[in-house]
Amino acid sequence: MKTAYDLLIEKLSMQAGLKKIPLNGAFELTSRCNFNCKMCYIHNPSRDKSVVDRELTADQWIRLATDARDAGMLNLVLTGGEIFLRSDIEYIYETLSRMGFKIILYTNGSLIDETKAKWLGRIPPTSMEITLYGASAETYEKLCGNAAGYEGTIRAVDMLLAEGINLELKMTVTYDNMNDMEQIAEFSYKRGLPLTIVDYLYPQMACGTLENCRLNAEDMVDFLKRYFSVIGKLRETYSTGELPKQTLERAARMVEDMERLDQDFDKDSGQSAFTCKAGSSSFWVTWEGIMVPCGMMTEPTVNILETDFRTAWDKLTKGLLDIPACSECMECDSRNICDVCPAKLKTETGYYDRPAPYLCELARISREKQEQSGDKTN
Amino acid sequence: MKIKDNLILREIAGSWIIVPVAEMVVEFNGLMNLNETGAFLWKKLAEGAEFEDLVSGLLSEYDVDEETARADVQEFISQLQEKGLLQQ
């Protein structure tokens, strides 16, 4: 059940999509990371000065945020690389935290010590999303080249919880960590934290050779089935109970508003290639200052150092109109269970309008397994 | 009657939203959606208006009788108090 807050965010998001307002921004503050994860596409060395020199400065990020706020940005993700590697992260975050945004921090958590946790507890973000790469130092070493990262991250989660910070956990599934899932899920549920499984790796995130890292379609479908079974059991064990009546009533009112917006949205979206908010109400700015629709798209691009924010956003939204939809995907019987998007098609096939065999295989096997389990229950 | 610090009224995508920032997120980590009248009252409160100022503000700005205006202001203030957005 969604809360009134979730629904208000969704309502704003739909209104923003209709009016092409850049409600959601992601600032990739750095490409440097203290981990060297096999599947990560952005992990330059921590102390590489030549990389530091190319990063936007703190004041450039703050100026960008000011312009984005004036254009309507509410939700701001700060991501990397690892954001806590920036020596000026406190200045950047403290300034942004007073500007009127809902801020979400993406981090691997390992650099958060007690001082940082207390600092964040004083001026908390809306939430922090911490990725757990495994459930042991061995898995962290194998996948991220940083055995100590495991203990550091676990400690950080508990310190941040002690400061009352909203946390969400993520797990990116690879062959190296897939067997740690049960322990990660239990860790999350014991602490009452939501866990998101990142179950799709873009080809550029796939460890050099796809087969060594990204689960093949059959293994992924089996993994997800196992995951759903695990969280089903954990939910029963660690249930947090029902939401208050007042929350449910507010949510119901919001649903009515959204149904009205939905009708407008359907009329507006037509045959767009995009089912997400990229380029209609969301944008991403890379560590070097390039605005793109999302972190996985390489076009259209606008250099925000060469123009003002509104012009950049305008160019981005117009540029997306040139991206063709995959008509074969749109007519596919499995569309409702296929998480296809232009970014995935482009990186999988080199084209926006050609089906990607990996996604087709995922959808086909998911459907088959669903039908098999349906047959068994009938 | 004073609004707490670190609450920002923003108009986003046609909606009026109260966004808590910095230290205020400790107390209120959400958003509050105001209608047009709520935003009007919020701005008046931020300027230092008291209950009677809010009522007279509504009467001069909107086509409404005094009884309704008083009830609307009372409800608005109660909602802010319920959410802990007013200083004691």
pTM score, whole prediction: 0.90
Q: Cα dihedral angle (A350, A353, A357, A358), rounded to 10 degrees?
A: 80
Write the CA distances from A193 to A181, A183, A288, A369, integer angstroms: 15, 14, 33, 29
Q: Note whether A292 and A317 are within 8 A (CB).
A: no
Q: What is the DSSP letter of A325?
A: P
Beta carbons within 8 Å of A197's beta carbon, 6+ residues apart:
A170, A171, A173, A181, A224, A227
SS3 content of chain B, % helix, strand, coil (to 5): 50, 20, 30
The span from the CA of A307 to the CA of A294, in Å, is 19
Q: Which of B10, B13, B30 sits opposite A100 (nearest CB)?
A: B10
Contact residues, chain B to chain A, C-beta under 8 Å: 6, 8, 10, 12-15, 17, 19, 21-23, 25-26, 29-31, 33
Contact A124 B13 (CB under 8 A): no
The span from the CA of A261 to the CA of A280, in Å, is 15
The span from the CA of A276 to the CA of A120, in Å, is 31
The span from the CA of A80 to the CA of A31, in Å, is 5
Residue whose structure tokens are 């917006």: A261
Q: At B47, is the secondary structure helix, strand, or coil?
A: coil
Contact B21 A124 (CB under 8 A): no
Beta carbons within 8 Å of A138's beta carbon, 6+ residues apart:
A147
Q: Which of A264, A14, A285 is nearest to B15 (CA)?
A: A14
CA B38 to chain centre: 5
The span from the CA of A280 to the CA of A24, in Å, is 10
Report yes or no for ipTM above 0.90: yes
Q: Which amino acid is at A216?
A: N
When scoring A21, A123, A256, A281 by the number of chain B Cβ atoms within 10 A, the one with the most, hence best to mutate, is A123
Q: Which of B33, B52, B81 is nearest to A257 (CA)?
A: B33
> Token digits for A378?
């009938």
> What is the structure's pLDDT at A41?
82
> What count of other Cβ atoms lies within 10 Å of the Cβ of residue A148?
12
* φ and ψ at residue B2, rounded to 5 degrees: -140, 140
Residues of chain B neighbouring A11 (CB-CB closer than 8 A) = 15
Residues B30-61 as b or e (16 or more Cβ within 10 Å = b): bbbbbeebbbbbbebbeeebeeebbbebbeee
Q: In angstroms, how far apart are the furthest CA atoms of chain A?
A: 63
Is the bond into A357 cis (omega within 30 degrees of 0)?
no
Ordered by start, the domain boundaries in chain B are 2-87
Residues A335-365 as b or e (16 or more Cβ within 10 Å = b): eeebebbbbbbbbbbeebbebbebbbebbbb
Q: What is the DSSP letter of A82?
A: -
Residues of chain A neighbouring B15 (CB-CB closer than 8 A) = 11-12, 15
Contact with chain B for residue A111, Cβ under 8 A: no
Beta bridge partners of B8: B19
> What is the structure's pLDDT at A261?
53
> What is the structure's pLDDT at A371?
82
What's B2-87's CATH class? mainly alpha
Contact A100 B21 (CB under 8 A): yes
Contact with chain B for residue A365, Cβ under 8 A: no
For chain A, where do the domains classified as CATH 3.20.20.70 start and end?
A: 4-237
Q: Note whether A364 and A220 are within 8 A (CB).
A: no
Q: Which CATH number fits domain A4-237: 3.40.50.300, 3.20.20.70, 3.30.300.30, 1.20.120.160?
A: 3.20.20.70
- Per-residue pLDDT in tens (0 to 9) along chain A, 378 residues: 567 778 888 889 999 999 999 999 999 999 999 999 988 888 899 989 999 999 999 999 999 999 999 999 999 999 999 999 999 999 999 999 999 999 999 999 999 999 999 999 999 999 999 999 999 999 999 999 999 999 999 999 999 999 999 999 999 999 999 999 999 999 998 998 989 999 999 887 666 666 778 999 999 999 999 998 998 888 777 765 554 455 455 545 545 655 655 555 555 555 567 878 888 899 999 999 999 999 999 899 999 999 999 999 999 999 999 999 999 999 998 888 898 999 999 999 999 999 999 999 999 999 888 888 776 554
Per-residue pLDDT tens over the stretch B32-78 = 999 999 999 999 999 999 999 999 999 999 999 999 999 999 999 99
- The nearest alpha carbon in chain A to B25 belongs to A124
SS (H, E, C) A145-195: CCCHHHHHHHHHHHHHHHCCCCEEEEEECCCCCHHHHHHHHHHHHHCCCCE
Cα end-to-end span (Å), chain B:
8
Q: Which amino acid is at A18?
A: L
Q: Which of B6, B14, B29 sits opposite A126 (nearest CB)?
A: B29
Q: Note whether A158 and A137 are within 8 A (CB).
A: no
Q: Which of B15, B22, B25 sits opposite A12 (nearest CB)?
A: B15
- The nearest alpha carbon in chain A to B21 belongs to A98
